[in-house]
Amino acid sequence: MPGRRSHRLPARGLALPLAVALVASSCASSTTPSRTIATPRAPAQSSAPIASPQGQSGLPAGPGQPAGASPSAPGAPGTPGQPAASGQPSAGRLPLAVVTGFANYRIDSVTAGTLATALSSGSLLVPCGAEAAVASALGVGAASGAAVPSSAASPAPCVPATTITARLPSSSTALALMPPGLVTPAVRVVPIGVADPFGETPARTAPYPLSIPVPPGWPAAWTAYDSSNVRVVLTTGVNCPDRGVSYQTNVRGRGWDWLLQAGTARYTGRHWDPQFGWWVVDAERTDHAGAMWALIRDADVAVSDFECSMTPNFTQHDSGTDFTIDPKVAPLMAKAGFDVATIAADHNTNPGLAAVPYTVKAFAANGIRAVGGGADLTQALRPAVLDVRGIRFGFVGFDAIGGSASATATSAGVAPLTPADARIAISAARAQGAQVVFALPQWSSVEYRAAFTAFQDRLAAQLAAAGADEIIGADFHWAGALSITPGGDAGYRLVTASQGNFWFGQSWSRQTQEAVMTMLTFVGTRLAQVRLIPTVVLNDAQPNLTDPATDGQFVLHQVLSVSRLLEP
């Protein structure tokens, strides 16, 4: 959309991994992901939900798991589910993934005891061939030498492994066990405590309580699992650390590292903003400083939507929609763990054309690859290709809405989203060996909404036709819809409308305070999981993690209620 758009007043009439981060934030990661572009890795430092104005009631808790329950440490001595010595199964054994419906965030994690109770009651779906091994691992029944509680019903019959996904539509709150080779984005993997075979490095290398001998007769495609073949790509919402963010870090003197100390937050209430006419949440920090930093640092690739340019002559803006960013943000983002930043956005030429190549150079000097902008169109269309333990991920960025000047053959600017430019950039990524290509468009023809528009649908089709495997859109300033469909070289194509705000202050509505980060898990080049991590911006500046089972339900409902999900 041409011209400058307001980032204060929206149009009216518009209506996971968390537990792992808390552990990871208290200690340095045991392993560092291997990437082509090395990024500095500093060690991290150690309610009831508010009713939705749209009338959201939330999903019920899953079997054996009360909403918002805190997981106990898995495999504690003397408890069922004693874990193996490491996250990597020993020869002849494999981890069974705990899965539920894709949209069921009322269950954030489970314990071995929860699974044992569900197995005893017959509510846990167990794949045929694994019944005795599961009972033994969980300490249930004769197979383990333990007695089934007298009050428990007879366990349900096993179900064929290939039918489990069909039994878990997106709204399902049931729990099931699944061979790792059958896990797809149609279901959501639930960690056992902090251990997660499909999670970030600390999670997938943690001791896993449900590793069983490979059942006889199970095909190799079901049982193949190697934690080193799992890679996680994490993407965040809009970064434009001017206004409220710069005010807290520069004017108030908190320092840029203060952003990295973000942890968890709890809602204490809400109030009505009479100036703009929206509900605003009140929240307080609940410790776990550095948990956000841990999530970014521990991803194999972390991606930022960077909407504004750095310039040596930056100015603090308290209002308005012209932005300039302190160059200290580049080393901060490298320290945080970001690897890629798309600068194809509507505010990147606010300080003038020269700010775009300056931003590219500032990122490059700190080991971050900028895409979607540059000194000319050739540089703006240049992809970033990162090698992560032998799998090459490509990233390209485009601006579809104007506001910033488009790069040309002789002048700086951002990469316009045209069919021809999409083909050029994606083909260049493939030529550099990219096996999975991410397109990162800024495309909010209408801001402050959650659902896809016909405009985004049309552009997503163009990007898919040009060869994009995954499409991570931005700039609604609300967390918006996602779509998952079969297709692309990764097997499944994720399209996100928007993830909302990250380092960007818009404290006048709940929808602009809250956001999601998106975690994509690949097994080799195959997309196996898509998970959402809810956040809330505090002090008009710092995003903190919220509990997906309680306070995070509002933004998750906002996203999932308008999404297009895989269904059996």
pLDDT of residue 240: 93
Domain that holds residue 185: 1-77+92-568
pLDDT of residue 40: 32
Lowest mean pLDDT among 142-151, 271-280, 532-541: 142-151
pLDDT of residue 346: 86
Residue closest to 390 by CA, chosen among 30, 38, 35: 35
Does 162 score more than 90 pLDDT?
yes
Within a domain: 547: yes
pLDDT of residue 476: 86
Distance CA 369, CA 352 (A): 21
Percent of the chain with pLDDT over 70: 81
- The strands making up 384-388's β-sheet, listed across from edge to edge, are 384-388, 391-399, 436-442, 470-472, 492-496, 482-486
Q: What tens digit of pLDDT does each residue of 358-387 get?
A: 999 999 999 999 999 999 999 999 999 999
Q: What tens digit of pLDDT does each residue of 80-106 get?
A: 333 333 445 556 789 999 999 999 999
pLDDT of residue 26: 59
Within a domain: 468: yes
Average pLDDT over residues 114-121: 95
Lowest mean pLDDT among 10-19, 116-125, 443-452, 557-566: 10-19
Mean pLDDT, the chain, whole residue set: 85
Bridge-based pairing state of the strands 391-399 and 436-442: parallel
Instruction: Tell me the Cα Rg of the chain.
Output: 23
Within a domain: 82: no
pLDDT band of residue 321 (cuts 50, 70, 90) is: confident
pLDDT of residue 29: 39
Within a domain: 87: no
pLDDT of residue 24: 64
pLDDT band of residue 142 (cuts 50, 70, 90) is: low
CATH number of the structural domain spanning residue 425:
3.60.21.10
Residue closest to 23 by CA, chosen among 412, 545, 511, 512: 545
The pTM for the full model equals 0.86
Handedness of CA 106, 444, 456, 236 (dihedral sign): negative
pLDDT of residue 67: 34
pLDDT band of residue 446 (cuts 50, 70, 90) is: confident
Q: What tens digit of pLDDT does each residue of 494-528 get?
A: 999 999 999 988 899 999 999 999 999 999 999 99
Q: What tens digit of pLDDT does each residue of 455-487 get?
A: 999 999 999 999 999 999 998 899 999 999 999
pLDDT of residue 444: 79
Does 43 score more than 70 pLDDT?
no
Distance CA 423, CA 441 (A): 14
Within a domain: 47: yes
Q: What tens digit of pLDDT does each residue of 338-354 get?
A: 999 999 988 888 889 99
Within a domain: 85: no
Does 35 score more than 70 pLDDT?
no
Q: Which residues contact 148 (CB under 8 A, 6 or more apart)?
A: 120, 140, 141
pLDDT of residue 19: 67
Instruction: Count Cβ neighbours within 10 Å for each residue of 22-41 and write b for 16 or more, e otherwise.
Output: bbbbeeebeeebebebebeb
Does 36 score more than 90 pLDDT?
no
pLDDT of residue 44: 34
Count up the domains in the chain and report the number: 1
Does 540 score more than 70 pLDDT?
yes
pLDDT of residue 442: 93
Within a domain: 307: yes
Alpha-carbon distances of 17 from 121, 506, 516, rounded to whole Å = 27, 25, 12
Average pLDDT over residues 314-326: 87
Does 3 score more than 50 pLDDT?
no
Within a domain: 540: yes
Greater confidence (115 vs 320) lies with 115
Q: What tens digit of pLDDT does each residue of 194-234 get?
A: 999 999 999 999 999 999 999 999 999 999 999 999 999 99
